[in-house]
């Protein structure tokens, strides 16, 4: 039996307060103490093994068996020193969560003695029984072998008493079954492509890393109230609930003071993050009541992705201790702001230069413009694919709803850079340029103001915005694994840079000077990608019209948007750069469709169950009270007076009947549609049916339920209400 609303409040009232965390004075005291980082490696590993790992991280070299053995031994002694008893490969299967299979460090020798055992083979490879992870047909269940293999570029860490080793997860036949594998490949591809282009400007640039700084939004709700909401429990969002009298209209939550209880949770979360080497920096309230944000300092992309996955994991664990539940869903409450996860992205060189930061002289500014314009061009050419990379059942609620970046992909760059691009378009001649014209151009570029850095020219309604020294991909969902968007973004930009280099080299071959060739190609990109640039209000209706006029797509639902992933163009892109092969792409497409279907299917079932088991019985119970009351009135009053005194109540009785009837009827219809959809074998057809035939019932049923919530005696209502979920401090 689920806990009823009144019991939930009883629990809250009688619960012991959580003792605050004993304080630590400096973040640096605890930072990275649970991570097998370079400092720990140096201490616990022979020099040659340490150097082998560093070279694997920095140059992508392989670690040989002998070295791996030394690393394993070092890692084990470090972990045991810290009290770890078990180890696990930590990986990111396509379910969207992280997976672990714990093994003890000890083993038995032949004579049955217990020995501490953890050697290279266990470090390098594990075989989790992978049959229950989604694989989109790549691996039949009888061939239940998937391998997880160590990713040395993300350091091992300890959670509780377990040493966690970040790994990739691939099938027996070598296909990626996780998010990390293609990401690592994409990062490798952009490194090479960007270095090649950097050679035009600076021969010392030999390595380019993609950087990611995510901003994680989330809601906190009291765990007792959460437990009394089966919909939150099973789907991560509320499927019913009337808007509270006071919502976010007063804007009093944003940057408001954080309650002690929440602060207590945040402090503990931050301490844990710091120990795990996640450089969390900012915390604040978000727009909606009980909504918050947490953001770290940016890091190398792969590490940042792991850290975000880790954060989402530990958040929930720590919240439990504080009687909170963390909601990572993109839209846990209807008509209340949803949650996103801004992905701040840039490229950084071994020479310490941020390639998306305007430089101080014409040369570095041309380099900046090259990467800036190529990114715009890449997004223009692959907007559909980028849209597909953020598609999920839960993010569908957010994209295009009036508080989140729309499903239409566009780029905001601010007025100053718009002016720079306009000038370039005007001044760069397509024909031969005179020396004076070239000098003039270079001077002009040299003046790109440095004030761009503290850019106040912000547009919060754009899904993809340039913010001074990085692009901010804002349409990513709060529950998403950032790998998806980052694999796509890095791959499309890499592809674009390769294309760019080809075009520039071709012009140089024909006799153009280098700078002139670069200018000309950039100019052509400015012209051809103009459509994707939009500086106005992305939430407005006018933009929807304008975008349609420009031919930009507005794909609102996941099943349709995923088409872009399996298009000819996308397959060519991913396969030619060896980020994913065709089977992997097809498998992913199928898995994402299946995930979509399952999510909507579960929601539909929960709506049916709650309607029939909670809402209707409560409505009928209250109706009975009204019926008895009116019957009593009939005894008391004359027939003539009765009509006057009991009229309103009789209307209420009728309203309840009619709403109950509508609910039951639509639950039945929805169930019928579900039965039909469940018979479908093609995943796309099935996902479309769930999207267009089943999901529309949600709103119809919800409307009636929410009206009943307003009508029925508060003490009868079993589900905690929005005002309680959102405002219980």
Q: Residue 148 or 344: which CB sits closer to ligand ADP?
A: 344
Q: Which residue has the tokens 């020099």?
A: 47
Conformation bin of residue 32: beta by default, left when phi > 0, alpha when psi is -120 to 50: left
Give the distance from CA 161 to its chain's centroid: 28
Out of 263, 297, 451, 636, the residue judged to bind ligand ADP by CB under 6 A:
297
Closer CB to ligand ADP, residue 475 or residue 705?
475
Does 291 contact ligand ADP by CB under 6 A?
Answer: no
CB 128 within 8 A of CB 99: yes
Restricting to residues 337-366, name those near ligand ADP by CB under 6 A.
342, 344-346, 354
State in angstroms the smallest separation of the CB of 443 from ligand ADP. Answer: 27
CB of 345 to ligand ADP, least distance (A): 6
Interaction of residue 686 with ligand ADP, rule CB under 6 A = no
Q: How far is the CB of 337 from ligand ADP (least distance, A)?
A: 15
> Is 413 near ligand ADP (CB under 6 A)?
no
Residue of 368, 286, 269 lying closest to 18 (CA atoms): 269
Question: Of 201-260, which residues contact ligand ADP (CB under 6 A)?
Answer: 211-213, 215
453 touches ligand ADP by CB under 6 A = no
How many residues of this chain bind ligand ADP (CB under 6 A)? 15
- Select from ligand ADP, Mg ion, none the partner in contact with residue 469, using the beta carbon and a kind-dependent cut-off of 5 to 8 Å: ligand ADP
Longest dimension (CA), the chain: 106
CA distances from residue 472 to 225, 306, 485, 525 in whole angstroms, order as listed: 35, 19, 12, 21
By beta-carbon proximity to ligand ADP, the closer residue of 213 and 608 is 213
Contact criterion met (CB below 8 Å) for 37 and 50? no
> Which residues fall within 8 angstroms of residue 628, CB to CB, at 6 or more apart?
none
718 binds ligand ADP, rule: CB under 6 A: no
Compute how many other C-beta atoms are within 10 angstroms of the C-beta atom of residue 145.
14
183-201 burial, b at 16+ Cβ within 10 Å, e below that, comes to bbbbbbbbbebbbbbbebb
What minimum distance in Å lies between the beta carbon of 305 and ligand ADP? Answer: 12
CB of 156 to ligand ADP, least distance (A): 24
Select the residue interacting with ligand ADP from 77, 125, 469, 581 (CB under 6 A). 469
Q: Which lies closer to ligand ADP via its Cβ, residue 344 or residue 630?
A: 344
User: Is residue 275 a contact partner of residue 32, using CB atoms and an 8 Å limit?
Assistant: yes
Stretch in the footprint of Mg ion (CB under 5 A) among 93-101, 103-111, 262-270, 338-346: 338-346
Encoding tokens for residue 325? 């539940």
Query: From the list ligand ADP, Mg ion, none, which binds 345 (C-beta under 5 to 8 Å, kind-based)?
Result: ligand ADP
Q: How far apart are CA 354 and CA 533, in angstroms?
A: 23
Looking at the Cβ atoms of 138 and 295, the one nearer to ligand ADP is: 295
Of 257, 255, 271, residue with least CA distance to 315? 271
C-beta of 210: minimal distance to ligand ADP in Å?
8
Residue 342 binds to Mg ion (criterion: CB under 5 A): yes
352: left (phi over 0), alpha (psi -120 to 50) or beta: left
Pick from 295, 489, 689, 708 the residue near ligand ADP by CB under 6 A.
Answer: 295
Whole-angstrom distance, CA of residue 324 vs CA of residue 310: 18
**99/190 with CB nearer ligand ADP:** 190
Q: For residues 295 and 719, which CB has a smaller minimum distance to ligand ADP in the complex?
A: 295
Decide if 630 contacts 258 (C-beta within 8 A).
no
* CB closer to ligand ADP out of 111 and 456: 456
Which residue, judged by CB position, is nearest to ligand ADP in the bound state? 213
Sole window of 199-207, 292-300, 596-604, 623-631 interacting with ligand ADP (rule: CB under 6 A): 292-300
Distance of alpha carbon 106 from alpha carbon 85, whole angstroms: 8
CB of 297 to ligand ADP, least distance (A): 5
Is 455 a binding residue for ligand ADP by CB under 6 A? The answer is no
Q: Which residues neighbour 519 within 8 Å (Cβ) at sequence distance 6 or greater?
A: 366, 424, 428, 433, 438, 441
**Which residue, 101, 91, 53, 299, is CA-closest to 180?**
91
Stretch that binds ligand ADP, among 110-118, 431-439, 467-475, 528-536 (CB under 6 A): 467-475
Site membership for ligand ADP, residue 683 (CB under 6 A):
no
Map the footprint of Mg ion across residues 186-215, applying CB under 5 A: 215
Residue 298: contacted member of Mg ion, ligand ADP, none (CB under 5 to 8 Å, by partner type) = ligand ADP
Q: Does 76 bind ligand ADP (CB under 6 A)?
A: no
Stated as kind and residue range, the H or E segment containing 101 is strand 99-104
Query: Which residue, among 69, 64, 44, has the nearest Cα to 52 in the 3D structure?
Result: 64
Q: How far apart are CA 646 and CA 628, in angstroms?
A: 11
Is 467 a binding residue for ligand ADP by CB under 6 A? The answer is yes
The rounded distance, in Å, linking the Cα atoms of 383 and 46 is 48
Which positions touch ligand ADP (CB under 6 A)? 211-213, 215, 295, 297-298, 342, 344-346, 354, 467, 469-470
Which positions touch Mg ion (CB under 5 A)? 215, 342
């Amino acid at each position: 039996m689920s806990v009823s609303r009144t019991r939930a409040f009883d629990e809250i009232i009688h619960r012991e307060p959580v003792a605050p965390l004993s304080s630590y004075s400096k973040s640096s005291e605890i930072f990275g103490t649970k991570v097998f980082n370079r400092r720990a490696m140096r201490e616990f590993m022979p020099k040659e093994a340490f150097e082998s790992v560093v070279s694997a991280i920095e140059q992508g070299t392989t670690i040989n068996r002998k070295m791996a053995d030394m690393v394993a031994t070092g890692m084990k002694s470090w972990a045991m020193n810290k009290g770890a008893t078990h180890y696990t490969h930590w990986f990111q299967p396509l379910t969207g969560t992280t997976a672990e299979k714990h093994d003890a460090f000890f083993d038995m020798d032949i004579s049955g003695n217990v020995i501490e055992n953890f050697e290279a083979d266990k470090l390098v490879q594990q075989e989790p029984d992978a049959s229950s992870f989604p694989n989109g047909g790549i691996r039949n269940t009888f061939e239940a072998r998937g391998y997880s293999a160590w990713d040395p570029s993300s350091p091992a860490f300890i959670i509780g008493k377990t040493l966690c080793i970040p790994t990739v997860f691939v099938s027996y036949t070598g296909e990626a079954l996780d998010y990390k594998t293609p990401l690592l490949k994409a990062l490798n591809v952009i490194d090479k492509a960007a270095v090649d282009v950097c050679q035009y400007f600076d021969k010392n640039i030999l390595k380019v890393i993609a950087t990611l700084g995510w901003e994680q939004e989330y809601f906190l709700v009291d765990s007792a109230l959460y437990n009394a909401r089966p919909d939150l429990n099973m789907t991560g969002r509320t499927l019913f609930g009337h808007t509270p009298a006071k919502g976010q209209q007063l804007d009093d939550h944003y940057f408001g003071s954080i309650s002690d209880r929440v602060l207590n949770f945040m402090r503990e979360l931050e301490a844990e993050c710091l120990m795990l080497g996640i450089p969390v920096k900012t915390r604040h309230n978000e727009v909606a009541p009980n909504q918050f944000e947490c953001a770290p300092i940016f890091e190398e992309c792969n590490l940042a992705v792991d850290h975000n996955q880790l954060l989402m994991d530990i958040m929930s664990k720590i919240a439990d201790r504080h009687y909170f539940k963390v909601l990572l869903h993109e839209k846990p409450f209807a008509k209340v702001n949803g949650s996103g996860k801004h992905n701040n992205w840039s490229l950084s060189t071994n020479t310490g230069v941020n390639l998306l930061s305007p430089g101080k002289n014409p040369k570095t500014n041309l380099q900046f413009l090259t990467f800036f314009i190529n990114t715009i061009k890449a997004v223009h050419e692959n907007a559909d694919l980028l849209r597909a990379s953020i598609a999920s059942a839960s993010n569908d609620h957010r994209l295009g709803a009036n508080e989140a970046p729309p499903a239409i992909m566009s780029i905001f760059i601010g007025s100053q850079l718009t002016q720079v691009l306009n000038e370039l378009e005007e001044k760069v001649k397509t024909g031969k340029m005179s020396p004076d014209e070239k000098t003039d151009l270079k001077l002009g570029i040299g003046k790109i103001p440095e004030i761009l850095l503290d850019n106040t020219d912000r547009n919060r309604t754009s899904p993809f915005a340039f913010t001074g020294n990085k692009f901010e991909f804002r349409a990513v969902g709060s529950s998403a694994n950032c790998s998806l968007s980052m694999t796509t973004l890095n791959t499309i930009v890499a592809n674009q840079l390769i294309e760019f280099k080809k075009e520039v080299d071709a012009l140089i071959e024909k006799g153009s000077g280098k700078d002139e060739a670069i200018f000309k190609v950039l100019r052509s990109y400015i012209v051809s990608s103009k459509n994707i640039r939009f500086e106005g209000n992305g939430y407005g209706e006018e933009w929807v019209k304008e975008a349609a006029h420009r031919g930009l797509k507005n794909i609102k639902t996941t099943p349709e948007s995923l088409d872009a992933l399996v298009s000819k163009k996308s397959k060519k892109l991913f396969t030619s750069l060896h980020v994913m092969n065709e089977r992997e792409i097809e498998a992913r497409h199928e898995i994402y469709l299946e995930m979509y279907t399952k999510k909507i299917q579960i929601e539909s079932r929960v709506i049916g169950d709650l309607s029939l088991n909670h809402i209707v019985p409560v409505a009928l119970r209250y109706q009975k009270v009204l019926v008895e009351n009116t019957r009593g009135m009939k005894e008391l009053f004359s027939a003539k007076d009765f009509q006057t005194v009991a009229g309103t109540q009789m209307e209420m009785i009728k309203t309840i009947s009619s709403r109950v009837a509508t609910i039951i009827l639509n639950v039945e219809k929805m169930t019928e549609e579900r039965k039909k959809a469940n018979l479908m074998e093609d995943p796309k057809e099935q996902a479309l049916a769930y999207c267009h035939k089943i999901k529309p019932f949600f709103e119809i049923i919800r409307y009636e339920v929410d009206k009943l919530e307003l009508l029925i005696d508060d003490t009868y209502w079993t589900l905690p209400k929005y005002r309680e979920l959102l405002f219980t401090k």
